[in-house]
Chains A and B, each alone.
Chain A
Amino acid sequence: MNAKTTAPLTAATSAAPASWRRAVVNHPSWFPVVASALLLILLFAGAQVKFGSFVTPGVLSSLFVDNAYLIILACGMTLVIITGGIDLSVGAVMAFSGIIAANLLQNGVNPTLVIPLMLINGALFGLMIGVLVQYFNVQPFIASLAGMFLARGLAHVFAPRQIAVNNAAVLSLNNHKFRFGDWYFTGTVIIALVIVLITAWLLARTRLGRTVYAIGGSESSAKLMGLPVARTKVLVYVISGTCAGIAGLVFTAYASSGYSLHGVGTELDTIAAVVIGGTLLTGGSGYIFGSLLGVLVYGVIKTVINFAGADQAWTRISVGVLLLAFVVVQRAIVARASRR
C-alpha cells in the first residue's frame, strides 16, 4: 500500500544474505519500524489465540475506519517530529475545525465550501505555530501548546454544546461502506490512505522531505549546507495543521457531530503512535509507514481491550508501557550511533 517508502527494505530483502547484512547496516532507522511490525503481528497472533475469531475482515476493516482520523494526524505529526519539533495542537485544531463545520452545515452552507474552510483553518493554526517556532524562537512545545489552548478555547466559545451533523454528503464519508465480500472501507479510510501516500511521497522523494530529515539531523548543518531551513520548518507545521483540519472532517463524519470536547488527548495518542512507529523523538529519523503501523498497534490494543471487556483505561496503560519500551529502545540506538 505504501510501496515508495518500503522500497529500500524490499529491494534488499529479496536478495542474498550478503545484501541482507548490507541492508541492516545501511538502514538502522528501519529497525524500530520492523520492531513495531513484529509487535503488530504478535498482537494479532495473541488476540487470535485468545479470542478465537479476532483476525477477521470485519475487525481489520473497522480498525482502519475507527482510526482514520488518527492516521491522518500521525502523518502530519511524523513530519513535525522528524524535524525535531512537536505539535500539541492537533487534537484541539481537529475539534475546532469540526465545530466550525458542524455549525456551518447546520446553517445550510454547502459542504464544498465548508470542507476547504476546515483545511484553511487547520493550515492557519499550523502557520501560526510554525511562525512562532521559526521567527520568534518559541519552543515547539510551548508554541503548539498555545495553539492547543487557543483552538480548544475558540471551539468552546463558538459552540459550548454538541452540534449534530445531518448533512448527508459529509455523513456518507463514514457511513457509506464499500464492500468486498466481508471486507469494507469508507470514504474516510480512502482520505486517510491518500494522505499517507502523499506525505510518504513528500518525505521520501522530494527535496522538502530531504530537508525535513536534514533539519532533524542537525539544524545548523542544514543551514550551512544552504538548505531552506526556515521555510521548511514553517511548512511542516502548516502540513500538520492541515492534516488536523482534514482529521476534523473525518472525525465529524465519524462522530456525526461537532463538539468542543471532541478528541481531548488525541495529540498525545498521535505522538504515542508516531513514536511506537519508530520515529525518533529527537528528530532526524522516521517513516510515515512506521507511523501507520504505530496507529494500527494502538488501534489493535484498543480492540483487544474491548474484546476482553476490560476497562478502556487498560488501553492507556498498555500504550504507556509500549511507549516507554520504544523510547528506551530509541535511546539505545542513539547511544550506539553516537559511540562510533
Chain B
Amino acid sequence: MDVAPIVEVLGAHLRFTGDVALDDVDFRMFPGEVHSLMGENGAGKSTLIKAMTGALRLDAGTMRLDGKVVSFSGPAAALHAGISTVYQEVDLLPNLSVAENIMLGREPRRFGHIDWALMRSEAVKALAVMGIDVDPRSPLSSHSLATQQLVAIARAISRDVRVLILDEPTSSLDQDEVSELFRIIRELKARGVAILFVSHFLEQVYEICDRITVLRNGKLIGEYKTTEMLRIDLVQKMLGSDSANLTVIEAREQSPAGPGGRKAVVAARGLGRRGATLPTDLDIFEGELLGVAGLLGSGRSELARLLSGVDISDTGVLTVHGRRRHFRQPRQALREGIAYSTESRKVEGIVAELSVRENITLALQADRGWIRRIPRARQDELSVSWIEALDIRPADAERRAGVLSGGNQQKVLLARLLALAPRVLILDEPTRGIDIGAKVEIQRLIGDLAANGMSVVFISAELEEVLRVGHRILVLRDREIVAVLDPDAVTFEMLLAIVAKADGDD
C-alpha cells in the first residue's frame, strides 16, 4: 500500500487491576478506508477504541496521527485532532435537547452567549445529512434508541472529522436506517475520512469494510483485507482454534426431542422477548449438560436471562416441573431451582469488597431473608466445604474476593449458586478470561454436577469447549435457535459453519 496510514497504534499494552486488556496490539487506519475491528466479548475492542480517543491511557505503546506521535490528555484533545467517536452505549445526554446533544462543546456564540437559533439550525443541518427529521428542540429522551444512535452519529460527523470511530453503531437500527448509515459512511470514505466500524453483524462488516483486524483476549490475531478473507476463517480467528482446512458441511439438524425416557425439567414453548429473543421452543432435561453456542449478539445471553427470570418474557409459555411459570424476578426462578450465573462476573457477580465466605453465603442468606441470619458457625462450615470441594485458592474464607484470580472468583460464584442446591444451573460464559487450568477444572466440575442429576446450561463463546462439554448443543444465530446438535455427530468445522452461517459466502 502506497498510502501512509493516518492512525497507527504500535505495541499497545494496558492492564486493568491485574487483567491484561491489551497485550502488544498494533493497529492502523488508512484514509478513505473502512476498517473493522473484530473479536468476541473481552477481546479488547472497546479498550483499544478508548485508548485511541483519549478516554483511557495506555500503559505502554505509542499512537501516531499523520506519522507524528500523539498522546491525548482526554476525549477533548482527540476530538480537536479530528478523531470523532460514537461509543457503544449511546453516550449522549437524555436530559438535554437533540440540538444540544449535537452541538455541545462547540455551541455557536454571539456576544458571549449561546446563539440558540443558530445552534438549532446547525443541528438541523447535521440531522439532514443523516436523513432524519426530528425537532431539534425535543429532549433526546423522547426519541427511540435508534434515533438517539443516529443523533450520536450526526454529532460525530458534524464537525471536521478525519477519523471516525463507530463502535456498534447499528445494534439498534433497522434495515433502512442501516443502509442510510452505509450511504453516509461511503460518502465520508470518498472524502478521505478513515472509518473504524465495529459490529458483530458479519454481513454488515462484509458489506462495508475494506480491512479487518481481529483481536482475541487482548492479543492481535492479524490484519486482513476483507476481500481476501472467508467469513468462516474470520469466525475461526475470532473464536480461536488450531484446526485448519475448514470445509463447509451441511449440518445435520436434529429434532429437539431429548434423550429417550428422561423428563424435561424446563420446557419453553414460544418463549421470547421483543428485541432480544425470538419465540423459542426449548427443553432442558434432567441431568443434562446443554451446551449453547453462538456468536456475540446471537442472543445467547438473552436466552439465559429469559430462562432465569432476569428479563421478563413477553411471549410464550415456560413450564418448570410440569407447571406453568411466568418469572418476573430472578428470585422466582430461584424458588423453582433455576440458578443463573452472569457473564459479567465483575459487574453483576462477585462482590469484591466482601470476603470469600460472605460471597459464598450471599445467595443463601438472601433466600432465607435477612432476619434469619445464617449462624457464623454454619457460614464457616459452608464456605470451608465449598472451598475444599471446588478447590478455591487460596483456601482462605476470610480473604477479600476481589483479590482472587478470575478463575477462583468464578468458583466462588459457582459455590454461591451451588449452596442453593439448584436443579437447573445456567452458566453464561463461566470460563471466559480465566486460565486454562481453572478452565479445565470448571468443565470437570460441571460434568460431575450433571452426572449427579443437575441440569446445566453451559454458554460459551469457545466452540471447542461447548463441543467437548455438552451432551446436546444448541446453536443460536440472530436471536433464534437454528440447530440442536448431537456433539458426537458433529465436528468442530461443522459447528463453526453453522455458527458463522457460511452460506452466501465465497
Contacts and interface: CB of A to CB of B under 8 A. Distances in A.
A and B from one assembly? yes
Interface in B53-108: 53, 55, 74-80, 85, 87, 91-97, 100, 104-105, 107
B79 to A, nearest CB: 4
Interface of B: 53, 55, 74-80, 85, 87, 91-97, 100, 104-105, 107, 109, 112-114, 116, 135, 137-139, 141-142, 155
A340 B75 contact: no
B137 A337 contact: no
B102 to A, nearest CB: 10
Question: 4 closest A-B pairs (Cβ-Cβ)?
Answer: A226-B76, A217-B93, A205-B113, A284-B95
Contacts of B53: 224
The CB with the most chain A CB atoms within 10 A, among B74, B93, B116, B142, is that of: B93
30 contacts: A22-B135, A25-B142, A26-B137, A26-B139, A26-B142, A29-B95, A205-B114, A207-B109, A210-B114, A214-B96, A214-B104, A216-B95, A217-B93, A217-B96, A218-B92, A223-B74, A224-B87, A225-B75, A225-B91, A225-B155, A226-B75, A226-B77, A226-B78, A226-B80, A284-B93, A284-B95, A285-B95, A337-B141, A340-B141, A340-B142
A57 interface: no
A150 to B, nearest CB: 30
B141 A201 contact: no
Contacts of B55: 223-224
A25 B135 CA distance: 11
A220 interface: yes
Contacts, number: 88
A28 interface: yes
Q: Does more than half of chain A's interface fall in helix, strand or loop, or is it mixed?
A: helix
A166 interface: no
Interface string A9-45: 0000000000000100111110000000000000000
B136 to A, nearest CB: 10
Nearest to B75: A226
Interface magnitude class on chain A: 20 to 34
A218 to B, nearest CB: 6
A228 B74 CA distance: 10
Most buried by A among B79, B95, B100, B104: B95
A28 B91 contact: no
A227 interface: yes
Nearest to A228: B76
A225 B158 CA distance: 13
A295 B78 CA distance: 43
Contact of B93 (A27, A201, A218, A228): A218
A335 to B, nearest CB: 12
Contacts of B92: 218, 221, 225
Nearest to B53: A224
Contacts of A218: 91-94
